[in-house]
Chains A and B, each alone.
Chain A
Amino acid sequence: MKSIYLDYASSTPLANEVVAEMVSAISNNDFGNPSSVDHEYGKNAYELIEDCRKDVANLINADQREIIWTSGATEANNLAIFGSYEFNLKNKSGNIITSMTEHKSVIEPFKTLEKKGLRVLFLSPKKNGEIDLNELEKTLNKDSLMVSLMHINNETGVLNDIESIGAICRKKNVIFHVDAAQSIGKIPIDVDNLKVDLMSLASHKIYGPKGIGALYINGKTMGRIAPIIKGGGQERGIRPGTLPTHQIIGMAAAFRLAKQHMNNDLNHIRKCRALFLKSISHIKDAVVNTDEVSTFPGIISVCLPDLDSESIIFGMNTIALSKGSACTSDSDEPSHVLKSMGLSQEEIRGTIRISFGRYTTMNEVSIAAESLVKIVTHLKMIRGQ
């Protein structure tokens, strides 16, 4: 029997519509190199890719010329940060600002730039995991060059107020990069309203294929990002490499579907969350690590104090869930996100992440909640509680 999948924040299954479009792209004569526009094969692939670029831009109210394809959000984050550095930040002395709750693909590039001489300032989140706008304002000064903050946190679901952060950065004339890997296609995004300069986009978190993503670079910033890999002149010279047509077609299909399903998806996961939390409410000491107001409903980070998340997950063997983020859960390192929110080692150890998606059924939510209650009861009993 296949286990119930409740790890949508880690990755999502491909939507059938996406599979159909990708299979068609692979099976048809769309194999031409989109850079070889001197013949119909290349021209055909080029046109398909430009149509896809429009679809991706459309979801965030951007212009298609502002979308640069990458291999995923990790590469997009690296390109945004190192690309800005290579273009001109390396000639400046100043500070760049991020948060302790960011994904490793932002934190590690920032640490690298710190070694190269830039001053890196890490914001601590508020207790609920959100970025403190007052702290950001206080931290920003005339030497600030760039701010990089995520939209929805992958471990906790915390939703940052990107619109207010964007306004602060724009006022201070500081480059603002947003890692939107977890928010794209799940909540409405308008890059103009949010005043974002750079935004990293993923495909596989919204029912598209892995291995493809994009970096949104607004018109003003477009000429100010240097490539971080060397090669041909693809993607306006910013991201060399032959484009994977079928992957891009898959991503665009997923983005079109996301636009179409966004309201329904959001309502659905709200119901999933409510049912799950209600069903586990009689586990006395279970604590949701975030507040309900500033959290994306699709992700629940729940702490079962004194218990070991590895045992909880092992005991819930018919449910696919995670003890932390997928990117760090293969290491024994305690979550840097939860740590920065002030959770103790014991609380971090007892934390699991459940995430819902378009295909989660209410029955699956009930089964998962029941399974959690059962394993918690067992583990407490053998602890002698």
Chain B
Amino acid sequence: MESLLRQYFSDNNSVYIASDHADINYHTGVAIQVNGDFVKLYLNLKEDRIIEAKYNVSGCPFMIAITAFYIERIKNKTLLEAAEIQDFNIEKTLELPINKKDRLFLLEDALKNCIKQINRGK
């Protein structure tokens, strides 16, 4: 499974680059861990559907890979569908070790914060 982990670790297709994407009005949500790891999500919605998703991330290889994996899968999903993180089978597909499972919580927190921002704007 390392090749899949490596594939998403190395993937940069959906990375948010300020100079390229600043003109798009993204909703953002960030979650930061005490050790400095962070995930920042950028979602562009049409009605309630995610038409574009980007991210910035810093942390261990699993943190990076799960973020890239998740972002790839939430495009064209509704916010409600995206919020069901367990449905994406990340843990099993990327064979997340027990001591790395908290990375999923960080991703979840970033999404929750993004949804809060969206709701505030409504």
Chain A positions within 8 Å of B, measured between CB atoms, are 306-308, 310-311, 314-315, 317, 332, 345-346, 349, 378-379, 381-384
Whether the pair A378, B35 counts as a contact (CB closer than 8 A) is: no
Whether the pair B56, A383 counts as a contact (CB closer than 8 A) is: yes
Closest Cβ of chain A: how far from B118's Cβ, in Å? Answer: 20
CB contact under 8 A between A382 and B61, given known A308-B37, A315-B9, A349-B36: no
Whether the pair B60, A383 counts as a contact (CB closer than 8 A) is: no
Interface flags for B52-83 (1: CB within 8 Å of A; 0: not) read 00011111110010000000000000000000
Number of interchain pairs (Cβ within 8 Å)? 51
Q: Could you list 18 examples of A-B contacts with CB < 8 Å? A: A306-B58, A308-B58, A308-B59, A310-B60, A310-B61, A311-B9, A311-B59, A314-B6, A314-B9, A314-B60, A317-B6, A345-B36, A349-B35, A349-B36, A379-B64, A382-B55, A383-B56, A384-B16
Whether the pair B61, A314 counts as a contact (CB closer than 8 A) is: yes
Which residues of B have CB within 8 Å of A345?
35-36
> DSSP majority for the A interface?
helix
Which residues of B have CB within 8 Å of A307?
58
CB contact under 8 A between A308 and B60, given known A346-B36, A349-B36: yes
Q: Does B32 contact A (CB under 8 A)?
A: no
Which residues of B have CB within 8 Å of A382?
12, 15, 55-58, 64
Whether the pair A379, B61 counts as a contact (CB closer than 8 A) is: no
Closest Cβ of chain A: how far from B46's Cβ, in Å? Answer: 24
Whether the pair A311, B60 counts as a contact (CB closer than 8 A) is: yes
Closest Cβ of chain A: how far from B24's Cβ, in Å? Answer: 15
Q: Does B1 contact A (CB under 8 A)?
A: no
Whether the pair A381, B12 counts as a contact (CB closer than 8 A) is: yes
Of chain B, the residue at the smallest CB distance from A307 is B58
Whether the pair B10, A383 counts as a contact (CB closer than 8 A) is: no
| Best-buried of A332, A349, A381, A382 by chain B (most CB within 10 Å) | A382
| Best-buried of B15, B55, B58 by chain A (most CB within 10 Å) | B58
CA distance A315 to B59 in the complex (A): 12
CA distance A313 to B55 in the complex (A): 22
Whether the pair A311, B40 counts as a contact (CB closer than 8 A) is: no
